């Protein structure tokens, strides 16, 4: 019998883009680790962009593949980090979204800078549609269920001293598995315990004026399902996302 540590041929994982032997623990494991770390380092090529999901005043959202973990993610780039107001909004969105721990807030995976010095962060890719595109198809009961889930996510944010300030159906993503996610926190305001802004900090809009719409697509909007998959809404659109020519990182 062969070495029990060696995977059987029929159960051996398929090689990844890192190399033909990268899935094995072998004498070349050190080089494999270096390859992985290189992809994870700033300026690396860990995320391969597939298609643009949305573009707005504050940034661009792409569907991408994490080449290290082999999963699809949503990647959001800052539109113009040289502008202090937009850079502050982008940083606010990263900190707020990454700091809220609730099923109704999209999960942030990573925050980095590309080769051109443009900051970006990656989020869980959710197959779904904005609530604004589903309202006319839903029954009153379905609408109330989504509204309740949104209220729960917003209540969690308020308990952490965070105001969304741009809450609307277009910024709520309804996933194919019934998840309801509040997205686009770039205009959020972070309050201190007394109900005001922390010392030395401005809100995400760079002032106290009314928020302006961002226009980006919620994380993962691309070929998704209606609300929700467990109900009678048609599921004929299910399938792999459209594969477009990879767009260059910006």
What's the mean per-residue pLDDT of the chain? 72
Share of the chain above pLDDT 90, in %: 41
Which class does domain 46-124 fall in? alpha beta
Measured CA to CA, the distance from residue 59 to residue 47 in angstroms comes to: 17
* DSSP three-state, residue 190: strand
Confidence of residue 81 (pLDDT cuts 50, 70, 90): confident
Active centre residues (catalytic)? 166
pLDDT value of position 10:
40
Residue 104: per-residue pLDDT: 97
Residue 18 in this model has a pLDDT that exceeds 90: no
Q: What contacts 24+ positions apart, CB below 8 Å, involve 143-149? A: 146/172, 146/174, 146/180, 146/227, 149/104, 149/180
- State how far the Cα of 100 lies from the Cα of 107, in Å rounded to an integer: 8
pLDDT level of residue 56 (50, 70, 90 thresholds): confident
Question: Tokens representing 213?
Answer: 């719409």
Give CA angle at 67 (102, 106), nearest 5°: 15
Phi (first) and psi of residue 85, to 5 degrees: -65, -40
Q: What is the pLDDT of residue 117?
A: 81
Overall average pLDDT of the 150-177 stretch? 96
| Residue 213: per-residue pLDDT | 41
Q: Would you give the DSSP letter of residue 205?
A: T
Ranges of each domain in the chain? 9-38, 46-124
């Amino acid at each position: 019998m062969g070495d029990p540590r060696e995977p059987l041929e029929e159960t051996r994982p398929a090689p990844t883009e890192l190399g033909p032997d990268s899935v094995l623990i072998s004498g070349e494991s050190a080089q494999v680790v270096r390859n992985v770390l290189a992809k994870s380092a700033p300026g690396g090529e860990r995320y391969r962009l597939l298609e643009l999901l949305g573009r707005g005043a504050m940034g661009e959202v792409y569907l991408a593949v994490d080449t290290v973990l082999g999963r699809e993610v949503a990647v959001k780039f800052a539109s113009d980090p040289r502008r202090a107001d937009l850079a502050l909004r982008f940083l606010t969105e990263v900190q707020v979204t990454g700091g809220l721990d609730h099923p109704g807030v999209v999960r942030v995976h990573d925050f980095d800078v590309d080769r051109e010095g443009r900051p970006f962060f990656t989020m869980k890719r959710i197959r779904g549609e904005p609530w604004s595109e589903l309202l006319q198809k839903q029954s009153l009961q379905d609408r109330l269920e989504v509204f309740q889930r949104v209220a729960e996510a917003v209540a969690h944010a308020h308990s952490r001293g965070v105001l969304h300030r741009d809450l609307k159906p277009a910024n709520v993503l309804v996933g194919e598995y019934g998840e309801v996610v509040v997205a686009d926190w770039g205009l959020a305001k972070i309050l201190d315990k007394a109900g005001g802004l922390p010392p030395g900090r401005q809100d995400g809009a760079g002032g106290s004026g009314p928020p302006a719409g961002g226009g980006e697509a919620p994380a993962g909007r691309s070929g998704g399902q209606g609300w929700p998959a467990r109900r009678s809404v048609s599921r004929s659109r299910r399938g792999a996302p459209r594969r477009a020519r990879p767009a260059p990182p910006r």
